[in-house]
Structure 1
Amino acid sequence: MGQPPQDPEGPPMDALSPDDAREIAGYRLRARLGEGGMGMVYLSHTRGGQPVALKVVRREYAQDLDFRKRFAHEVTAARRVQGPYTAPVLDSFTDGPEPWLAVGYVPGPSLASAVYQHGALPLRTVLQLTAGIAEALQTIHAAGVIHRDLKPSNVLLASDGPRVIDFGIARAADTTALTGTDVRLGTPAYMAPEQAVGGDVTPALDVFALGLVAYFAATGRHPFGEGASHALLYRIVSSEPDLGACPEELRGVVAGCLAKDPGARPTPGQVIEACNTLAGTEGLIRHEGWWLPPAVQQQIARQEETLRLHSGPAPAAVGPAPTPPVPTQPGLSPQAAFAVALPTRPAHSPGDAFVAAAPTAPAYSPQPIPAATASAPSRPAEARRTPLVAAVAVVAALAVGGGSVAAYQMLTDDSRDTTASHDARNVSGGAAPATTPSAAPTSTDGPKSEAGWQISARDKPLVLRAPKYIPTAEDIGSGTMCRPSDATVLDIHDLGVETGAGYVPSSGGWLTYTDCPDPIKVNGIRLADDEGSFGTTAERRPTPTACRDSALGGTLPNPIPLSSIRDDSVLKTGTGLCVVSGEGAVTHLWITKVNAGKADNDNLRTYVVTATQWKPE
């Protein structure tokens, strides 16, 4: 099941720090629920006493005009969603220097947390859970919204049923969405095939995710296995799910949801009908408390008690600490700057929510599923195995909406939903790196840092192995992938390396090293990050600012062509490669050794490097 979450009991409610405001727009802050790259989440209450999770977006995001437009659009859409199995957006303000939104607080663990801590859920609970999520999707789709990021950490388990949160608001994190650029948002392990390859976005992609979530709830596993996120996403696109561990009664429902063809998937209403039939004479009627296993009920009770203890008088006002300086280097993505002073907006009454008319959801042509049939529906193998281009855009879209426990989880740990972590080892069956450095080179001075930056990796040894040339590889139509290939792929978010990769991600934060027959657009060493930059430096120990400037001001071609790799004209021993990701992380790859090429890898070089990475605080 991957690594367990760090917060099995739900988020801690920490006391407010001297830096925190005591009131925002009339909401008295009572505790911290969590902090992440996009902002802070606080516990507060409406004037009528309803608990809310108040999310305040960081100022550097708000300073980006595209982000603010997208945020306002998504919040407006989310406020139309009103249903029994969704956590409602109760209030919002999108025009100030730090936008915020208030979401109904639901005391209860996420599905991810409950399964990791207590194991797979009983079949009856899974049927009730699946039907409840499907009803939430009906509500979301009827409001003209597509969730796009349904996953176990976005489903809360309350005493009276599940709650689906973060419906669509995560899209605001992507500043290219307004320009019409094709961006595949979501969590890789829970993307639909068409979402992964940039196809049409319809409500059917949420149904695919529902099948994955139902399988996870029933088994604690992922039907497409484990591994690095891009490897898992490749299997989602090109392979059939393994439903062997799924309870037989549930298998037909899950298989229908996981159809590769969006039009072959059932509607949420058909999923509800199937679950109702499978549940028997009592159907899906819930009695508060008993629909969940006792251990999960106890977890909810503890969180309700914690909420009660934090619902007394709000803390006395304390003056905030001085605001730290905000980096304003030209060309830096908005994620790289930060500020924590929280402004207030006077003359606002908490809880002034509204409900807008719900437009018709985008249409698609679903297929019914055999609700009472235990086995999976039969489909021709050739129809189910239609090749799809796995142009894997793994965007870590950090949620800005959602209440209670998952508001904290979305800000602090989104990796639990991938079922596996990135790894520096080979995860696709390719050959292991030919050369492995025994240790990072010794140096009297370690990596440098400076105010506003946090070192996330220090002299991590890596090998960028020369790819093998496969003359039979073909471009499958996207111009960004050849198959089969033998690529080396470096994840610039966590510095995991995969060798022998059979596919080439086109965007999302990767450094790819590829040698495929022409015509192909990714040959050489390429930064696959639409908002990233890279450049060389002669500095062994640059500061993060200096390395960032080398990347932003660099003149390297992207990709670095194979000819420049063969003649050592760009990357040499004693050269640094500075990389800035679209999320603002800065990575310094110092080349300690260049291994000569061989005939089987087209005389390309293998690079032994040490990696240091800084991330904005």
Structure 2
Amino acid sequence: MTIGTGSVLAPLEPQDPRETAGYRLIARIGEGGMGTVYLSHTRGGQPVALKLIRREFGQDPDFRSRFEQEVRAARRVQGYHLVPVLDHDTTGASPWLASVFVPGLSLHDALSAYGPLPLPAVFQLIGCTARALGSIHAAGVVHRDLKPANLLLGAAGPYVIDFGIARATDSTQLTRTGGVIGTPQYMSPEHALGAEVTTASDLFAVGLIAAVAATGRHPYGEGGATALGVRIANTDRLPPDLSGYPTELKPLLERCLTADPAERIGTDELAAMCELFAGRPLNDFDGWLPEPVGQEIARRVRAAENPPTPTVADAGAGAGAGDFGPARTGAGTGTAGAFGGVHAADTAFAPPRPAGPPRPNRPTPAPGPSPNRAPAPAPAPKGFRGGLIAASLVLAVLAGAGAVWLLDEDGSEDGAKTPAAGQEAPAAPEPSDPAKAPSAPKTSPSASAPPKAAYTPVFQDKPFTLRGPSGNTGTHVDLDAPQIFPKGAIGKTQGMELTYQNWGDADLRFLTAAGKSPGTTPEECREAVATNTLTSSVGRVELKEGKTITKGTVLCTVTSENNLAMIRITDVIQDPSKGTYGPMPDYVTTLTLWKIG
């Protein structure tokens, strides 16, 4: 993935959309084989990274189906050191997904700029990655493309990104020709040979990452991605050369880099081993990285607080989506000029659909078209040139394996970057009067006002205090009971409506769609769930700064037992002196529950 030179963010380019599905796009975060990632914000101001999938993937119905399945699975993942997926859509001209934005530094970039990490930092990185993988695997997801570019280094520790998403590309026409999509130098032997990929495959990748992070040297020697992938595929005959690696690191490498997946170390044992060799708790991130790396991360955090604004030239280019379709999806066509000069703090915009993950053991509706999605735009005149960089496609046949790898020009991503032969990029729509542009996206069918219903009180104004969870714990809430489960187990949220967690992705997460109500009647409450829906997660910064949930806020949701619950926030208790990463706020509330119908 490429990013703006010298910065975590880059200005939008003329061909970039200015808005997608109600998310206002502010700046470019990066670009890779599957698409382009943009900075946006939730309605409450929480920064999100919105990945707009490339049109050639989106035009494949098999990809759309697999992408929907994989993202839904990814949204069930909860745990340590993960960047959670908040929202997604597969029905528009270009599929997209939105996740929490972490202004960190990828391990790939850190190693390229500053060289190998000290051994204690490596153990802490790998231990936290093992914990994250434990949560990913517990949700039935396999990462499949774990590599330094998919590990983010942050002031609050490392984060794993893009878990499970790479599998969606396996259903495209590229793979039907015999391809294996991925990053060969960080594949497991079974993945390189085109065999079944399991959770153990991720552990093999962890071993490779540990070796490179500690020394800058790959266990399978020197050479390009293809050459390293061929050697990995033959691990059963030519195991990696581990001589020259630090003595403390060798047990980890030996337990990860075995040819037989059944012999590889598990995530829990790996985390415990790393904590022992790190000589400090895995969740102690005070000065955990070398000073230059820490300073660069701090610089990126500051840059994210003041993202680049569209230039006059940008605005004059219109809101054309270039390779991605119309700038306003389901809200008419506006001009980029309407967004010019907008600061990040002013970019709160409500996504038009609930972002809550599917409940365990509850039926999930099949994806279908939504009337608020615009149809694919008409082709542009011939000769239009998009701003995306053309990629070279490297085809390498594995000796004895018969598999074909499909790589980008850097050997690290998973799809071609240019339109297929004869495919034309869409034209940018003509600019329109900003004053006539809608101020908010239309609501989807799920957000339409419900029919009249009878509401019978079950209990009213019941005192209910949600205390901030301590470090590395989560609190699950059953509003029907009502009951609070402190230190709830990761993923054990069946029948719950809320989870308040202080893991790597600390947030208040709504497991059923929740809305902010202007009043306290059941009719107002029910309408708020349908028409004023919040995103599925309110992040740590939003909670600490009181941007979304404040004293007097009224939150409503339809529970897992089809009751209507109303939470009135009567007080918020927190200590601002503790900073962003201090204790999470306590919420003193009253809870009212109505039976519907």
Shorter-normalised TM range:
0.5 to 0.7
The 8 Å contact of residues 252 and 270 in structure 2, kept in 1 or not, is answered as: yes
Equivalent residue for 2:393, pick from 474, 493, 504: 493
2:64 aligned residue: 68
2:129 aligned with 1:129: no
* 1:44 has 2:31 as partner: no
1:297 maps to: 294
Structure 2 CA distance, aligned partners of 1:256 and 1:72? 34
Post-superposition shift, 1:112?
0.9
Whichever residue aligns with residue 124 of structure 2, its letter is Q
| Mapped pair 1:507 → 2:409 | no
Deviations 1:403-431 (A, max 9, x none): xxxxxxxxxxxxxxxxxxxxxxxxxxxxx
Shift in alpha-carbon separation, 1:6–1:96, aligned structure 2, 3 A: closer
Distance 2:387 2:296 in 1: 34
Distance 1:256 1:296 in 2: 29
Q: Using the alignment, how far apart are the partners of 2:3 and 2:388 within structure 1?
A: 24
Q: Residues of 1 paired with 2:31 and 2:389: CA distance?
A: 17
| Local SS of the residue matching 1:144 | coil
Native 8 Å contact 2:142 2:198 kept in 1: yes
Classify the secondary structure of the residue corresponding to 1:342.
Answer: coil
Q: Report the counterpart of residue 171 of structure 2 in structure 1.
A: 175
Name 1:28's counterpart in structure 2.
Answer: 24
Q: Give the Cα–Cα distance (whole angstroms) in 1 for the partners of residues 254 and 360 of structure 2.
A: 31
Q: Are residues 1:287 and 2:261 paired?
A: no
Secondary structure at the residue paired with 2:167? helix
Which of 283, 305, 308 is matched with 1:308 structurally?
305
Most deviating of 37-46 and 212-221: 37-46
* Contact residue 149 and residue 185 of structure 1 kept, 8 A: no
Counterpart residue identity of residue 405, structure 2: G
- In the other structure, the counterpart of 1:269 is 268
Alpha carbons of 1:181 and 1:85: their partners in 2 closer, same or farther (altered >3 Å)? farther
TM-score, normalised to structure 1's length? 0.54
- Residues 62, 342 of structure 1: CA spacing in aligned structure 2 closer, same or farther, 3 A cutoff? farther
- Deviation at residue 455 of structure 1 after TM alignment: 13
Describe the shift of the 1:7–1:252 C-alpha distance in structure 2 as closer, same or farther (beyond 3 A). Answer: same
Change (3 A) 1:63 1:263: same
Q: Offset at 1:339?
A: 4.8
Please state how far the C-alpha of 1:149 moved relative to its aligned partner.
0.5
Code of the residue aligned with 2:117 in structure 1: it is L
Give the number of aligned pairs.
Answer: 372
Shift of 1:507: 2.4
Q: Distance in 1 between matches of 2:245 and 2:191?
A: 24
* Structure 1 residues 307 and 452, CA gap change in structure 2 (3 angstroms): closer
Structure 2 matches for 1:39-438, cutoff 5 A?
39-176=35-172, 184-238=180-234, 239-280=238-279, 282-288=280-286, 290-310=287-307, 320=318, 338-346=323-331, 349=351, 352-356=354-358
Describe the shift of the 1:6–1:118 C-alpha distance in structure 2 as closer, same or farther (beyond 3 A): farther
Structure 1: segments with no counterpart, 5+ residues: 325-337, 360-448, 458-490, 511-530, 533-542, 547-617
| 1:40–1:200 Cα change, 3 Å | closer
Q: Is the 8 A contact 1:194 1:200 kept in 2?
A: yes
Query: 5 Å matches for 1:585-604?
Result: none
Q: Secondary structure at the match of 1:295?
A: helix
**Equivalent-residue separation in structure 1 for 2:301 and 2:231 (angstroms):** 40
> Residue 453 and residue 180 in structure 1: after superposition, are their counterparts in 2 closer, same or farther (change >3 A)?
closer
Q: Which residue does 1:596 correspond to in 2?
A: none
Residue type of the alignment partner of 2:148: P
Aligned-partner SS, 1:157: strand
Q: Normalising by structure 2, what TM-score?
A: 0.55
User: C-alpha displacement at 1:322, in angstroms?
Assistant: 5.9
Deviations 1:425-464 (A, max 9, x none): xxxxxxxxxxxxxxxxxxxxxxxx965599999xxxxxxx
Match 1:15 to one of 7, 11, 14: 11
Structure 1 residues 21 and 313, CA, compared in 2 at 3 Å: closer, same or farther? Answer: closer
Cα 1:206/1:38, change in 2 over 3 Å: closer
Sort the Cα spacing of 1:220 and 1:7 in 2 relative to 1 into closer, same or farther, 3 A. farther
Deviation string 1:314-372 (CA, Å, 9 cap, x unpaired) is 99976736677xxxxxxxxxxxxx5543342459637943244569xxxxxxxxxxxxx
**Equivalence map 1:408-557=2 (5 Å):** 493-494=393-394, 505-508=402-405
Q: Once the two structures are superposed, what CA deviation does each residue of 1:507-559 show, in whole Å capped at 9, x if it has no partner?
A: 2359xxxxxxxxxxxxxxxxxxxx99xxxxxxxxxx9769xxxxxxxxxxxxx
**Secondary structure of the equivalent of 2:405?**
coil
Q: CA deviation at 1:50?
A: 1.3
> Deviation of residue 242 (structure 1)?
1.7
Please tell me whether the aligned partners of residues 54 and 103 of structure 1 are also in contact (alpha carbons under 8 angstroms).
yes
> SS at 1:90's partner residue?
strand
Shift of 1:30: 1.3
1:295–1:7: structure 2 CA closer, same or farther, 3 Å change rule?
farther
1:348–1:71 CA distance, 2 compared to 1 (3 A): farther
CA distance in 1, matches of 2:6, 2:136: 25
- Kindly indicate whether the alpha-carbon contact (under 8 Å) linking 1:92 and 1:102 is maintained by their aligned counterparts in 2: yes
Q: Aligned in 2, Cα 1:25/1:253: closer, same or farther, shift over 3 Å?
A: same
Paired residue for 1:583? none
How far apart in 2 are the matches of 1:89 and 1:29? 17
Distance (Å, rounded) in 1 between the aligned partners of 2:139 and 2:403: 33
Report the secondary structure of 2:36's partner residue: strand
User: For residue 490 of structure 2, what is the aligned residue in structure 1?
Assistant: none
